[in-house]
Structure 1
Amino acid sequence: MGSRIMQLLSLCLYVSLHSVVTSSFTPPDNYLVNCGSNTNVSVDNRVFVADGIQPGSVFLSSGESVSVTNPNPSSIAAPLYGTARIFKTASAYTFKINKLGTHLVRLHFSPFVTEDYNLGNANFSVSANGLLVLSHFSAKKPVFKEFVLMADKVNFEVLFVPNGEEDGLAFVCAIEVFSTPDDFILDNGVKLIGPNGVQEFKDLRLQTLETIHRINVGGPKLTPFNDTLWRTWVPDEEFLVSKLTAKLANTTHPPNYQKGGASREIAPDNVYMTAQQMNRDNTSSGFSYFNVTWDFPVGAGSVRHFVRLHFCDIVSIALNQLYFDVYINEFVAYKDVDLSSLTFHSLASPYYIDFVVDSENSRIVRVSIGPSDLSNILRKNAILNGVEIMRIVNFVGIRAESKKINKWILVGSIVGGVAVVCLAILAVLVVLRSKRRKAKPRPAESMGWTPLRGFGGSSLSKQSIVTTSTSPGQNGYLALKIPFAELESGTNNFDKNLVIGSGGFGMVYKGVLKDSTRVAVKRGVRGSRQGLPEFQTEITILSKIRHRHLVSLVGYCEEQSEMILVYEYMEKGALKNHLYGSNLPPLSWKQRLEICIGAARGLHYLHTGSAQGIIHRDIKSTNILLDENYVAKVADFGLSRSGPCLDETHVSTGVKGSFGYLDPEYFRRQQLTDKSDVYSFGVVLFEVLCARPAVDPLLDREQVNLAEWAMEWQKKGLLAQIIDPNLVGNINSNSLKKLGETAEKCLAEYGVDRPTMGDVLWNLEYALQLQDSKEPSQDTNHTTPEVLEHEAVPTVYSCSSRTDGDIQDATTDVTSGEIFSQLVNKEGR
């Protein structure tokens, strides 16, 4: 009994101390106004004073205004919304600022109806500190607008301007203006995320921010009573793209605040004591490669948004267990987040990261978290505790429809604007003139790795792959170098309107070289070493092989801290876009088979064109591209590896690939073979047939993984029931049967039971013959075995030993025609 009493006393002591701590912040400026009222009102232990009670500190400037009271108090949403002040002309509240700096401004509105006024019909604009924050605003329900801005003048003015003529109205029910802590908004460390990668964003404190969302991820709604800055935090559930991917995490222990991290004014304790993490319980086959994603509506318009993400590692039991990646609007925002290092090697310590992003008219800001390649394969996880999204308001002075705003401000703005335009034109002329005088290009900056030189001196000369009749020649890799200036010119200075894709490496732009060659330009994040191995591997492989069904490397650039790869342009884009997720016309069954055959030819060449061969490691529908004639070409060789030597059965290497396509045997044993590509290709075959993603977490649990779901129907002999509706009635039954059997063999649990890509290719060509046949055979197997004998490689060379990531010499002069001669002549098998 005594022990129980002591526990209760300890708990009471903690609660009392916690209350003192959470209410410790006292704003130097703290103006709370109950507008249109003659009495004060208490809300969340704060007193809102009636406007006019304290002249000299809170007062109305000249202008016509009326006080009104809600005639239906039973419908009042909050005590602050019982009264309002109405303005018929431009009018302002002025506040004396004691400490210049960042302030929070909240404006409360409730559009109630009185005998003389309908506040729901009011349409007006509001400026704060001379900046337009609300334009043509109308409130249709009780709402408040919150802004974070710099108070840089002693007299801080909030100005209301009715829109319209004689009958125009503006109104407000309550106003809050108070100081924030000095570290609430900082200029340093803010990351600008967009098509050009991650850059530094400066002068954030000078921006005016309008709060759009404040989210307590994984937790309940938090009211101003629980927040030292009197904020409201709402749950994240309605914003989750797929609830199946997320799992709640929480703790009863208070956060371990560290100097240099977040404070209770950045976010309250309860935000950091709850979170969402990856729900690995709902993933099939033990896969851990997926993201947790939230979509936050932000309205229309191409504007920038400030995004603050809150983190606190409440899921790890030891340091350096949690590594994850953060994505915003599909761009990599922060790679390999390690909260242990960021919080000075402590667990459960709050931390936040600030970003600025462009909404690009998408109407949403998408935030995703996913596992990092640095984390242990068995402990891959990601976590998010809170999200704040604010619109960056343009620096535009309010226009005075009422004509009573000082006209000299307008005149001064016009004159100043003209002067700025003139200066800008002059600056452009000076720059252009200096460029014409500039004869020599600036020297290239090294990427921090051995430059690609001729075969004699480059470190990459030891990583040559298979070659065909086309070779880099005597100049080696230098022959493929393209000047940065040419790529900059060919993409209109990397115009975001020319972006045709994006991925982990960077953005892909449509471009034109000076010889009028159309190209796809893949640009890595400038100055970053992220993706360097993939960059080297792509150049190494694609510079030395050519095949009709492999995307060709046109060149590369490594100047000025850039990593850029230039490919032949593929007019029709990725196969995926022709199957689902776009408005493109559906492909016919014959087109789909021809595309699969082309991709299979490219993969077969990779696997058998040399003694070791090349394993792609990332086969999926987004890496199969189509040219203007729908000819398929395999792309993206950043994860490719040389295959095992003749005396080896596999390559031991870390697991790489894409969730949904990954070979489960490779995943379990970390032993890579060309049969891993065969498995991935089997998933693509079902993807082509069913026209749905390899993984769709929005579907029922048994349908989430395409490979598992389709295999169930295939084994029942009912595959025709799940095909793309556009194909119903247009597929020869024997052709469908042959493709289903081929895909089933590809998806065998063990690699030794899967066919080679040569076998797959033969079966696909036979499926195409069956589709073209007017009288198809009822027995699809009487002319050919389901799994054919492995093809002999025309020329074999010995392999030297190698380590993970290296691709050793294994060159041959065999052409694609020689390799595929056996495919058109059955006796060759």
Structure 2
Amino acid sequence: MESSSRHQLPPSKQKMPSQRNEWEGPYRLLFCSSKGDKAGVMQQLMEGVDTNLADYDKRTALHLASCEGCTEIVVLLLEKGADVNFMDRWGRTPLSDARSFGHVDICKILVAHGGIDPMGIESQAPCCEIDSTEVDMNEATLIGEGAYGEIYLVKWRGTEVAAKTIRSSIASNKTVRDNFLKELALWQKLRHPNIVQFLGVLKHADRLIFLTEYLRNGSLYDILRKRGRLDPLTAVAYALDIARGMNYLHQHKPHAIIHRDLTPRNVLQNEAGRLKVTDFGLSKITQGRDVGYKMTGGTGSYRYMAPEVYRRESYGKKVDVFSFALIVHEMFQGGPSNRGEEPEKLADKRAYEDSRPHLPSIVYPEPIKKLLQDCWHKNPDRRPTFEEIILHLETMEGNLQQRTMGTYCRCVVL
């Protein structure tokens, strides 16, 4: 993405949110716009929320509605004075997003209101290829190792980004390499506050490297290792971040994106405290119906693996819901259960003995306990969708906030 257009970004009238739940208060306008909730959008606008309110990535309600194909919301926001050419931090306007996702009718509406697409032809490119001379890998700092290769911290156009190398055994196979590039091309089009942003691909003769935004706070795995058990309000807020990112992937059109390897290591935290899901672009894309994939039991991490995957059965989006439940369990407990047991043995017990982690009431509030039991149900069809999970978590968060405020008020009075 060209950085030359960034100076055109209009100054935001809103300060960055300081609370963990960034979809509460005025930021609910963004959530409602992305969901096509016209009544919710109207309510927020009537309460005086700025139509050009932007999130951490400088994406407005009009960006999100254009991206998701919510035509009614686009029309409403424009009528209420939304800036048709507001640019996000990648220099994309709402028209750029509408074109990327093929929303022809919305494109016509935006153009009629003076919308422009500064990305032009570049936004239609199958994959953003970056000249290898722009990144000096000799100056790279090794910061980790992923399932496909090493991860480095590098400088690109003056910004620190993460460079993920793909092992030569993968990159040297032309068929695998081509399929891998197709996966990354999909990733390029995705935009959501709770997913890690893909920036482009560096092509070398001997290896394949792709760049993503760098989240310096590390992974949820790191957070739990340092902090241990999280307080309920923080755990629920983190769970909401993950659920919103996953819901965006699962509702991707025309085909849902299944992560298949959702673990604490694949959930990163930015400086604002927001969690973002990563490495989803390396997973398979469902074709047609939300069923039919088979994958080996070795795919993904055994500790977070759904029973149907371990048994090498057909699977769908609900494998990610199972993994999500185990992650939430860890946030309340402070780490994985049965730490001393081999992950593959755990997966085997869950698949064939219906074994699940313990949920002592002293640690797990009843609503969380019920949600986890539903999410790791042995029957995938009985597990809730991430959209349903979000609604449950929002209710829990509201109740927890009220209790926290009530406790605070009592302390002040005393």
How big is the shift at 1:748? 0.4
Aligned-partner residue type, residue 166 of structure 2:
G
| Alignment of 1:651 onto 2:292 | yes
Correspondent of 1:541 among 176, 183, 186: 186
Q: Which has the higher strand share?
A: 1
Count of aligned pairs: 288
The yes-or-no answer on 1:553 pairing with 2:198 is: yes
Separation in 1 of the partners of 2:281 and 2:373?
28
Measured at CA, do residues 701 and 622 of structure 1 come closer, stay the same or move farther in structure 2, by a change above 3 Å?
closer
Residue 757 of structure 1 is matched in structure 2 by: 386
Match of 2:216 among 571, 575, 579: 571
Matches within 5 A, 1:561-640: 561-580=206-225, 583=226, 587-640=230-283
Q: Could you tell me which residue of structure 2 aligns to residue 384 of structure 1? A: none
Residues of 2 paired with 1:774 and 1:739: CA distance? 16
**Secondary structure, counterpart of 1:622 in structure 2:** helix
Equivalent residues of 1:538, 1:637 under 8 A apart: no
Shift in CA distance, 518/586, structure 1 to aligned 2, threshold 3 Å:
farther
* TM-score normalized by the length of structure 2: 0.61
- Residue 501 of structure 1 is matched in structure 2 by 144
Moved over 6 A (4+): 467-472, 699-710
For the 8 Å contact 1:599–1:632, the answer to whether it is kept is yes
Provide the rounded CA distance (Å) in 1 between the counterparts of 2:153 and 2:343.
38
Residue 681 of structure 1 aligns to a residue whose secondary structure is helix
Trace 1:289-300 onto structure 2 (pairs within 5 A): none
For 2:189, give the aligned amino acid: K
The amino acid across from 1:513 in the alignment is W
Are 1:521 and 2:168 counterparts?
no
Q: For 1:169-214, what per-residue CA distance to the aligned partner results, in whole angstroms no more than 9, with x for missing partners?
A: xxxxxxxxxxxxxxxxxxxxxxxxxxxxxxxxxxxxxxxxxxxxxx
Counterpart selection for 2:358 from 684, 702, 713: 713
SS at match of 1:615: coil
The match for 2:131 among 465, 483, 486 is 483
- Higher RCO (CA-CA < 8 Å; seq separation 6+): 2
| TM-superposition CA deviations, 1:436-462 (whole Å, max 9, x none) | xxxxxxxxxxxxxxxxxxxxxxxxxxx
Letter paired with 2:389: V
Quickly say closer, same or farther: Cα 1:537–1:773, change in 2 above 3 A: farther
Identical columns (%):
24
- 1:773/1:592 Cα in 2 relative to 1: closer, same or farther (>3 Å)? same
- Alpha-carbon distance, 1:675 to partner: 0.9
Alignment of 1:305-454 (within 5 A): none
Q: Name the SS for the 2:121 alignment partner.
A: coil
Give the partner amino acid of 2:212: Y
The residue type paired with residue 762 of structure 1 is L
C-alpha contact 1:649 1:673 (8 A) present in aligned 2? yes
CA RMSD of aligned residues (A): 3.6
**More helix, by proportion:** 2
**1: CA distance between counterparts of 2:198 and 2:344?**
41
Distance across 2 between alignment mates of 1:704 and 1:758: 26
* Partner residue, 1:686: 329
In 2, distance between residues paired with 1:595 and 1:702? 28
CA distance in 2, matches of 1:660, 1:776: 37
**Aligned residue among 376, 397, 408 for 1:747:** 376
Give the CA deviation at 1:694. Answer: 6.1
Deviation at 1:662? 1.4
Is the CA contact (8 Å cut-off) linking 1:494 and 1:509 kept in structure 2?
no
Gaps of 5+ in 1: 1-464, 724-732, 778-829
- Residue identity opposite 1:683 in structure 2: L
Amino acid in the other structure paired with 1:670: E
Question: How far apart are 1:574 and its partner, in Å?
Answer: 0.8
Matches within 5 A, 1:70-219: none
> SS where residue 135 of structure 2 aligns?
helix
CA distance in 2, matches of 1:746, 1:624: 18
Aligned equivalents of 1:659, 1:699: Cα separation in 2: 9
For 2:405 and 2:394, locate their aligned partners in 1 and report how far apart those are by CA, in whole Å: 14
Look up the SS of the partner of 2:147 in the other structure. coil
Q: Could you say if the C-alpha distance between residues 551 and 467 of structure 1 is closer, same or farther in structure 2, counting changes exceeding 3 Å?
A: farther
Query: Computing the radius of gyration over CA atoms, which structure comes out larger, 1 or 2?
Result: 1
For 1:603 and 1:661, the matched residues in 2 are separated by: 15
Q: What is the CA–CA distance in structure 2 between the aligned matches of 1:654 and 1:704, rounded to whole Å?
A: 15
Give the TM-score taking structure 1 as reference length.
0.32
In 2, Cα distance between equivalents of 1:706 and 1:547 = 36
The code of the aligned residue for 2:239 comes to C
Separation in 2, partners of 1:752, 1:521: 38
Instruction: Give CA-to-partner distance per residue, 1:8-38, whole Å, 9 cap, x none.
Output: xxxxxxxxxxxxxxxxxxxxxxxxxxxxxxx
